[in-house]
Structures are given as structure tokens and as C-alpha cells.
């Protein structure tokens, strides 16, 4: 069965410092991996995804994520955090192989990122 784990409910970081939000996944076959961000009282916004190719994926707002197949991880990173990055971050996985059911996404429980000035 497909699943996603975000081991940290909260991540706190000082503005200007690098940030990492962790994600590990379990899927039969090859994965598609996604990161979404949710600001208060808003829907989820797509940040970036890994489909195939380069393991380092760059996305919106200066975020990037590294796919590590051996560790089944897809951690979200940013070299220098901003206060405006404070939000709820979700990792999601979909099964990429043929026969997967309609690109269904399986979400982690979310990680609340707080960047303090």
C-alpha cells in the first residue's frame, strides 16, 4: 500500500537559516512525488514534483527537494528561510507505473513550518 510519512509535526527555523522538511514514502513500483504548501484558510498550492531524471528538483519560491531512492525519501529544502515561508507543508506520493489508479495521491499528515525573525 502507498503511504507517506512526515516525521516532524513542526519545524522551527530562524530567518536566513537553511530549512529542511522531511518526507519518506512507501509505494509499490516507481513513485511520483510532490510537495504542496498550505497557507492559513487557503487551498493547497503545488510547489514541486519528482517524476524522473535529476534527483534534485527545483520548484516555486526557491524551494527544492532531493529524491533519494535508496532511502525512499523526498526532503524539501530551502537555503535561506523567510518569515513568509511559514505555512503547512504536505508531501504526497502517487504510483507512476502503468496500471496505477488514476494518479491518486497519498498525503502525509503535514509539517507546520515556522520561521521566526
Q: What is the binding site for another protein (CB under 8 A)?
A: 4, 32, 34, 36, 41-46, 49, 51-52, 90, 92, 94, 96, 102-105, 107-110
> Between residues 14 and 39, which has the closer beta carbon with respect to another protein?
39
Give min distance, CB of 76 to another protein, in A.
15
Rg (CA), the chain: 14
Tell how strand 106-107 and strand 87-95 pair up.
antiparallel
> Between residues 18 and 42, which has the closer beta carbon with respect to another protein?
42
Q: How far apart are CA 51 and CA 78, in angstroms?
A: 20
Amino acid at each position: 500500500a502507498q503511504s507517506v510519512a512526515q516525521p516532524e509535526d513542526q519545524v522551527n527555523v530562524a530567518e536566513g537559516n537553511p530549512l529542511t522538511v522531511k518526507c519518506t514514502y512507501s509505494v509499490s513500483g516507481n513513485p511520483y512525488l510532490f510537495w504542496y504548501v498550505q497557507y492559513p484558510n487557503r487551498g493547497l498550492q503545488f510547489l514541486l514534483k519528482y517524476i524522473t531524471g535529476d534527483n534534485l528538483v527545483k520548484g516555486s519560491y526557491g524551494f527544492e527537494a532531493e529524491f533519494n531512492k535508496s532511502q525512499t525519501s523526498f526532503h524539501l529544502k530551502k537555503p535561506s528561510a523567510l518569515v513568509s515561508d511559514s505555512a503547512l507543508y504536505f508531501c504526497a506520493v502517487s504510483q507512476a507505473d502503468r496500471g496505477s489508479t488514476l494518479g491518486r495521491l497519498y498525503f502525509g499528515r503535514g509539517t507546520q513550518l515556522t520561521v521566526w525573525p
